[in-house]
Structure formats: C-alpha cells, structure tokens
Structure 1
C-alpha cells in the first residue's frame, strides 16, 4: 500500500460570529530610521506644515547611504532639531556636498566605519575654496551633528567618535549682525514701500467698485466699462487669466500679467508689502512670510493672531500678538494691525483659488521652468502661495530699491537687506525706550535681540557698554579688597637677589616660590603656591574651578602665563555672546574684572603682544570651569 502525504487542513474561514485569525504577538511598527536605512527615502513633515521626501539613493558614495539616511531621519523627525523644511534642506545639501567630496578622493571610504576625522577636516578646507570660512565651519558643524546621530555609535570608528564629541568645532562661527539703516535711510525705505502699497490698495479698490457696480447695476456703466468689467468678472469667478495677443497674433505675457494684476496680486507686489510689514511690526522676514489667515479683531482697536517663530524649541514656535489697528483709515499704513487687515483683504481672491494655509497669494503665471512652484501653479491656474514651497524666494530687492532711487548716506545706491531692516526697527525701539532692553525686546528674547540685532549696530554699542560696565562695577566693588599676586620681571630679579625677603612678600617659602618660577606648580593659567590648603575648601586639597585661581590668594601669575590668560579673555568674551548678561556677570564678572583691570595691565604692551602670538587656539570655559583633581 502506497503512503500518501496527508492533505493540509485549511484554516477556518472567518464568518458571521467567528473571530478572525490574528497574528501571534504584538504589532511593532518599524521605526523611521530603520525604514530610512532600508528604503533610503526620508519623509519629512515640518512644524511649518511643509512636506517633502529626501531620496538618498540619488546621492553619490552609495556605501554610506543607509547610515546617513537613518541619522538624517532622527534629525528631521518629531524630536529632532530640524523641524522646518528650510533647515532640513540645508542639512541635506551639506550631506550631498560631503558625499560629492568623498567620491572625488583617490581612496574614498567603502563603509561608514572607514570614515575619519581627517576626511571631515579636509571637507572643511575644501569648502573654503568656494565659500567663506564661516560657511565652511557651519557645513562642518552640520555634518558633525548628523554623524552624532548614527546608531549604534560603534558603526563609526573610535577615532571619529572621539572627534565628534570634542568641543570647539563651531568656534568663531558666530558672526555679528549687520548694522541697521540710519534714520534718513529708514524713512526713505518706508516712504517708498508705503507709496507702493497705497497704489496696490487703490488699484484693488477701483476693481472692487467696478465689479460691485457691474453685478448690481450694470446699466450705470458705459459700454466700454461693461465690456471690461465682464472680463474681470470672469477672471474673478474662475481664476483663469485669458491669453492676450499682440498686433501680429503672438502671445503677450506682459499684457497678460497686467490683466491679472487688475484682480490679483502679482510677484512685483511682494517687495513693498514685505518691507512695509517688517518696518511696521518689527518682525523678521520669515515671520511676515508665514502670517496666518486666522485672526480675531478685538473691539475694533487691535487684531489678535498667532505667529510662527522659527526656533528649535517647539514650546516657543508660536507667539500670540495683539497689533494695533488704528482708529482712522489714514492710519492703516502706519500700524501693524492695519497693515495685516489690508494684506488679508488684498489676498482674499487669490487665496480662494490657491488654497494656501498662509495669508499670501499671487498669480505667478501658468508657464515657467519645471521645478519652482510648477505643481502648485499647474493645480491652481497659476495661483500660489509664493512662500509655500520655500521661504527663500528670490525677491529682487535691489531692483525695487533702484526703481525708487534709494541711496545710502554716502550717496551710493542703497542695498536693501530685510535683516538690516529688522535690525533698524530693533534699534529704533531700543532708543525710543531709553535703552531699556527688556522694554525694547518685543519680538525676541533679550539675548537674541542683543546678539543678533543690536550688538552689530554702532548706535547701540555705547549704550550696551554702559550696561555691562555698570554690572561690572558691582563685581568690582565685591572684589576690591583682593589683589592678585603677580610676579613680573622686577619680582623675579628681587627673588634672585633676596629670596627670603621676596618670599615673605608673597607669603610663601623660598623653595616654593622658586618651584613656581620654574613652572613646577603651574595650573592652566597660573601657579598655585599651596594647592593642599585652599581658602575655598574646608580641610583638604583644592577642588574648585581653574577660573577661581585668578582670585585666590594662593595664585601666582607670571609672564609665561600670559598666552593662556589672553585665551581666557577670548573665551569669556565668547561666553558673553551666548549667555545672558546677568548670568555672565554672576558667573564670570569677577574673573573678567581681575583679568582686564588688575592682571593684564601689570604687563607691558610688548609683553602682551608677544604672548598673543603663542596664545592657545582653544582654551574652553568647560575645561577651565571643571574641578581639579585632588592630589
């Protein structure tokens, strides 16, 4: 009898009253980094509502794609630091440039484990051939930040992992902002913008009246007016701009745009509207470009709306403001609330067709090169949010400035910069409230206002110096009773001639003082005459910050310490640019006072100049501020 295999028993089919078959175990969704490593595509949905897909398979150096795509997915994910499309685009372009650079090497890495710090540094030097030093450093820091998210970290070599964790990669990257415009330059800019916006408003009001009359009492119009209104009515209802032909039958795009601007805003209208918005609100250009349509009018005196502020912190990405409208129509172009409501009215027709989420809408034409706004224009007959796909739309600012004949204080054509315009408003506001920064900082924190908008303006520096000097005076009063011990050339000669008398003057044994002169008792920026008995530590060796040495009676400062001391001054100055003034004064004020008023003036200009030539490249406060190891 032949044996036959038993037929498999079919699984019971689901039906009414029967439970469907379920897979064993719990469902675990694949994480975004894992998906990115597998597909090499990173989907992005930013805090600003913009979506995109970043395809790593289109980049060179294929051996590194999976790990970089996964790290990029973390950086652009819900908890990552890149939460707007602009920042995500910038990071992706840095990776593209880096991979192009690696492919140009004679021996490119065959896997991410072969990547070295030397290759990263060579990339930075390569970038300086076509970009500024600051841009090259920014690219390096952007690359390092992505590589720090490679998971697991041991996919990278030990040498590279140590390099990525080193401080100081972004040193000197910070740049001061551009100074603002003078009062005369600002007045001319605002006059030109207000003039253009008034013309746009009058143009739209004329069409509103014409269409209203055509739709209610067409017999009140002349035959020519009715014919013109009929065309404009069709454009308003459908959003379609008919083709216009010239005398020989060719399409006339200029005449078509002229017809479109009878009903809708067009691209040349953007510059004066943006300039007026920044000048009236004091907000930066990106915030004005992302003005929302939702708002609330409060007692006909103010408009309340929520702005997008482009910060890393999600909690600070929204800001609700109340902008004054003005009691009369004549103030419409002089108040932020009046400006907003006018802009809302001017763009209402276009928004109905473009479907944008923000306040802006223009007719950009139905043609153009494929890429920029192509899909949006095709979907809405040319009606788009001009800043929907990207905020850095080319605006031809200087072309507008030249058309109005704007000049700077030296008589040269004025270069229009929206960041400088924002700075000007910050400066004017600060001066208007008497230099009181908490009252002036309406659009940013005190630190951001000073670091990015005010400190680069010569008209505000004198006031800022007074604020810092006043705070330093408080620290000086607290430190007045103490004088650091400085061993200059005359002191060394006295020690050699009369060691006992000189040692008594410095409160140390002759042998100890000689060891200090020989450099055997050096800390990072001074010598310690008695590290086992610190005035800051009860019973035991000193374990306080190296910065505390500069105000310690056990410290001895000689000329050989000057290079390190000058580096400390630089580090303190950089700390002031990245922390609040109050916090900096509390933490570093006395140290800065000791250095700049009590220590460095004891040495000659020649000694300080010589020391500056051998100043350490990096002497970070994190190193100086750490506790010393007891011994």
Structure 2
C-alpha cells in the first residue's frame, strides 16, 4: 500500500522536509503515466483546482492510435501541460472522443497514427461545422492540434500533418473572426433591480429560516422545560440533525393506508438548517450582482478568510485564464453593517459562510460552499455512496464547476420580465409578457457597465475584475448605454493619451497597502519607497497638495530637482505623489470639473489638455478603492476647485 500523502505538500505523511531543506524529488522528468486498462490505456488527472479524473481509451474505436494518443494526452494534462483544471480537461477530452468516433465510422479508418492524413483532419473540421457553431469548432480543432503537437516522436505523424500543426493558429481562426456573433448588452437598470430584489429576497428568506431554527435549538439546549411539547419535540429533532448531519426521511400516508417518501417535505426539512440545491441559484445571482465576479470564481471561493476591523473581509480568489502566476489573488470586500449585509460583496460572503457552516462539518468542503443533496436511498444516482457516507452533504462544485443551474425556472418563478427591445432606456416591460432570459455572464456584464458609470465616466478602465481591453471588448463595447461614448471618445480621441497613462508612477494607498500602513508602517513605507515618518505625515494630511500628498516637495522631477513649482494637475503624473482615501473627494470634484470643461470644448482639444489626467484618475486610482469608499467620497466632494485650476496657476500681473 502506498504511503499516506498530504494533499497540501504532496509528501508522504510523517516525512515533511524541515524549513530550508529540499523536498525529495523523483529522478528524471515526471509525466503522468498512461496505464493499461482491460481494453485500452487510461490516464489519471490531478488538477490544480483539486479535482481528479480518469480518462480511458477503453471502448473507443481505432485501437491502433490509443497508445500514442494516450501518451500525448498524459503530457497535455501533466504538470507542464496546458490543461490544469477539471473543466478544461473535460472540454478538451470530449473533442478527442468525438474525433476517434468519427474516424472509426469511416470506411477505412486509420489503423495507426501514421495513417492519419491531413485530409482526415480537414474533413473532420468540415463535418463538425455542419452541426456545430463555428467558434466552438475553432476551439475544438485548437485542442486537437495541441494534442497532436505532443506526439512523440513527431516523425510518427505524416509531414503534411506536421506542417499543418506548425502553421499559425490565426490562419484557421479567420472563420471565427468573420462569423463572430454580436455581443448581448447588459440588463437595463430596471431589469437589474428586479433581478437583485428577487435574489436578495430569497437569500433573506434562507437566512431567516436558518437563524430561526438555530435560535430554537439554543433555547432547547438552554431550557428545554420552558418549551411546549410540540415545540420541544421539533427543537429536539433539529438539534439531532445539526449534531449528526442526518435528515430523517419524511413519509406521507396514502389514502389506502400505505406510506411513501415525501421528497419535497424531506428537502424542506433539510433546508431548515442546511443549504440545499434550490438555494444555490439565488446565492450565486446575488453574489455576481454584488461583486461583479465571474460565476466560476465565486464557486471556487475558499472558506478561509480574514475579517478586517469589522468593515471588510479578505477573501482568496481563484481567477481562471490568467495563467498560473496570476491565477490567485486576495481581494478585500466591504461588509457593511449587519442591516446592509445583503447589499455588499463582503456581507454576502460572510452570510454564505454562515449558512453553509453546518453542512461543511459533514461534507469536509474546503470551499465556502456546502449543500445537502441526498436522494431517496432506493433510487440510483451518481455519487450516492459518497453522499450516504457524508449523510447527504457535499461540496456542489467539488467534481466540476459546470453544475446544472435552472436559472430560467428561477426567473420565471419570480415573474421577471424583459424590457421592450425598442426601449433603449429600460423604461419598462412590454406588457409584462416577455420572460427575462437570465444568464450570469450577462449579469456580470451589467455590473461592469454600472461600475464604469460609477467611477466618473464610461471607461473600460473602471473594471476591477478584468484587464481594460477585456472589459471593453467583452463587457462595455456592446452595451447601448455606453457604446457611443466609449467608441468615439475612448478608442479614438483618447488613443494617444493612453501611452502617457502607462507611464504613471504615482502611488496609491488603498486596499491591502492601506491595511499594512495601519498595522506595519515600517513595511508599508519600505514598499512605497519612503520613510515611516513621511508616510505618517502623508496619512495625516500634513503633506497634502490639492488632490494628493507630496512625499518630496523639495526635489521635484518636474522642476530640475529643486522645489516643485508646477501645476497641481501634474501631481497625478509625479512619482512623488501618494493618493490616499482622504483625497478622493477632491478627485471626484476634479472629475466633475473636467466633465464641465468637456461640455465647453471640442473633444480633441479636451483630450489634449486633460485626457491623461482623466484616464489616470478613472483607470489607475479610483478602481483601487472599494465601492463604499467611492460613494462616500462622491457625497463629500466639494462643489468647486480653485479658480483657473484646470489650466494651472498663473503669475500675478
């Protein structure tokens, strides 16, 4: 029997290397082996997301291709391969299966991989296009090409096939580009408000029933004699359920005297103290609407977190498609007060953590999610044995992220309706007859648009969850409420200014940096390239100019190294500048004044004067602060700034 392995370190239990010692390494290069099964090779997969899978070539046609393809597949899903999550591996594997089955249906299928021709691949491409949308075929063929590139030795493949694999992928993506489907805009303000109200109402109901059940159990444990008999019996049953995790099966009596399991009543009984399958949709909808994060990111949330001074929560996020070096980040979400927890992303997380806590005791989930999902013991169901062992408690996203969510049924149950497509302003539904089509991707897009509008302008740079290019191309560009402004001003008039924005060298004291300055001024000052005394003076406002703090007024890079004598607007481009939360009101006043100046000038003239400043504030400064900080600062923004501020101060006449 192999030694027990620690899932965090990968070392054998009891054999952890000490600090400063090198972990034991196997000799040579590692690659997951393609083991032989009863009817063909199998490859085991261990994903970076903690999910496992076994991919078997058994029962697939063209057995002469299996051994070489299995070795190539092992490289694709190995530590150096490009498929590092269960979802990515499953998606690519489905393409491999379809290709082999199609080859097996040919009159003369290839007996070895050397018999695979370029004609085979081109015919398969055309076959898939006849039944599948072009973008999906492009992605599938990309995965097929990536697999064949891993074949060793490459000489196994025919020269025309090898040449095909070496050609730039963009030559084969042209069809996808030409046939790109138009992007769907985000929801209108009315639609978004209705979606969030429905989700918030459902989540509030979940919270009420859980807290009511726990309060009853606490009263029972403290003084059972003070409860009436029916209430005491119910409280005792709830206490046993919380202690054991077992939800007794509920039966109903038939007219003839027989008894059958009442599945609905069983789920309702479990839902008094545990989350159930029906609770996932409203919780996810509310989470996406409050945080603006991808659904897959919210599904991967760890239960580990830090509560910061009763105002924010530090949460670890796993962001797909960013690459291994940037796939994880810690974000700080404001929590609000207890009465506003359902209106802040941090409050949503803390509530989800609370609601799933009882279930995590039995499911052992490392993520924040845990639901009760037991089925009737007599009915066959995938994973039934595992659910029985945990009394029905599971991490709903443990095996895969793509759990089926019936968003349409949830939206219909709440009577959500879509706006009249002719009503670009979202003025109301067309007779209330057209049901709303709810997708979480479109909901995220709506949050991106609302965030862009909230930070002083319709700029894709306002996005805090994507790069500016991704935010603009996939979330903002197609929205009718910002398209005209964004396309005309951002992509044309501000194009030249963006190069200067990238040279921004100022410092922003927000998020984790502000927290560090509070608890470890020495480390924070070192990270900012200044001294603890200077940092303390800047935080106290003693070094303030008009909209930033100047960390070295006597040595300005804009004044030949001497005392600074340039306009306050230059502060935002100066490496001596430090922007903290108390500067935000002045920055919003600046944006208001810049907007007023835009109304009085030609766009090109305005961009030449103030485009860089506008982009620095909206792209690089405001998004670093939380929504709560920005809203408070907006309310405190002064009505005006000093005279002639925009053009700089002038010498007295």
Matched, 1:425 2:447: yes
Q: How many Å apart are 1:177 and its aligned residue?
A: 4.2
Which of these residues, 426, 434, 439, is aligned with residue 456 of structure 2?
434
Matched, 1:286 2:296: yes
Does the CA contact (< 8 Å) of 1:37 and 1:70 recur in 2? no
Partner of 1:383: 393
Matched, 1:320 2:330: yes
Secondary structure at the counterpart of residue 307 of structure 1: strand
Number of residue-to-residue matches in the alignment: 450
Does the CA contact (< 8 Å) of 1:332 and 1:339 recur in 2? yes
Partner of 1:99: 100
Does the CA contact (< 8 Å) of 1:37 and 1:69 recur in 2? no
Q: Deviations over 1:394-413 (max 9, x none)?
A: 11101000000000002310
- In 2, the alpha carbon distance for the partners of 1:321 and 1:216 equals 40
- In 1, the alpha carbon distance for the partners of 2:247 and 2:32 equals 46
Q: Deviations over 1:113-158 (max 9, x none)?
A: 1112221121122212332122222211111111111122111100
Matched, 1:403 2:402: no
- In 2, the alpha carbon distance for the partners of 1:29 and 1:222 equals 71
- In 1, the alpha carbon distance for the partners of 2:213 and 2:111 equals 65
Matched, 1:415 2:410: no
| TM-score, structure 2 normalization | 0.66
Does the CA contact (< 8 Å) of 1:241 and 1:256 recur in 2? yes
Does the CA contact (< 8 Å) of 2:460 and 2:472 recur in 1? no
Q: Deviations over 1:253-290 (max 9, x none)?
A: 11111111111111111111000000001101101111
Does the CA contact (< 8 Å) of 2:289 and 2:447 recur in 1? yes
Does the CA contact (< 8 Å) of 1:303 and 1:323 recur in 2? yes
Partner of 1:52: 53
Q: Deviations over 1:320-368 (max 9, x none)?
A: 1000011x21110000111100000000000101111111111111348
Does the CA contact (< 8 Å) of 1:40 and 1:56 recur in 2? yes
- Aligned pairs for 1:198-597 (under 5 A) are 198-248=204-254, 249-311=259-321, 313-326=323-336, 328-367=337-376, 370=380, 372-410=382-420, 411=430, 412-435=434-457, 437=459, 439-465=461-487, 466-471=489-494
Q: How many Å apart are 1:172 and its aligned residue?
A: 4.1
- In 2, the alpha carbon distance for the partners of 1:423 and 1:439 equals 14
Q: Deviations over 1:26-76 (max 9, x none)?
A: 984684265458972211111111111111223222111112111111111
Partner of 2:605: none
Q: How many Å apart are 1:448 and its aligned residue?
A: 1.9
- Structure 2 segments unaligned to the other structure (5+ residues): 1-24, 421-429, 499-611, 613-653
Q: How many Å apart are 1:434 and its aligned residue?
A: 3.0
Partner of 2:172: 169
Q: Deviations over 1:580-618 (max 9, x none)?
A: xx9xxxxxxxxxxxxxxxxxxxxxxxxxxxxxxxxxxxx
Does the CA contact (< 8 Å) of 1:180 and 1:421 recur in 2? yes
**Inter-CA distance 363–473: structure 2 relative to 1 (3 Å threshold):** closer
- In 2, the alpha carbon distance for the partners of 1:48 and 1:33 equals 17
My pick for the range that moved more, 92-101 or 70-79, is 70-79
**Inter-CA distance 472–294: structure 2 relative to 1 (3 Å threshold):** closer
Partner of 1:23: none
- In 1, the alpha carbon distance for the partners of 2:483 and 2:458 equals 13
- In 1, the alpha carbon distance for the partners of 2:353 and 2:248 equals 26
My pick for the range that moved more, 170-179 or 373-382, is 170-179
**Inter-CA distance 372–390: structure 2 relative to 1 (3 Å threshold):** farther
- In 2, the alpha carbon distance for the partners of 1:320 and 1:434 equals 26
Q: How many Å apart are 1:316 and its aligned residue?
A: 1.1
Secondary structure at the counterpart of residue 195 of structure 2: helix
Q: How many Å apart are 1:212 and its aligned residue?
A: 0.3
| TM-score, structure 1 normalization | 0.68
Secondary structure at the counterpart of residue 368 of structure 2: coil
**Inter-CA distance 315–474: structure 2 relative to 1 (3 Å threshold):** closer
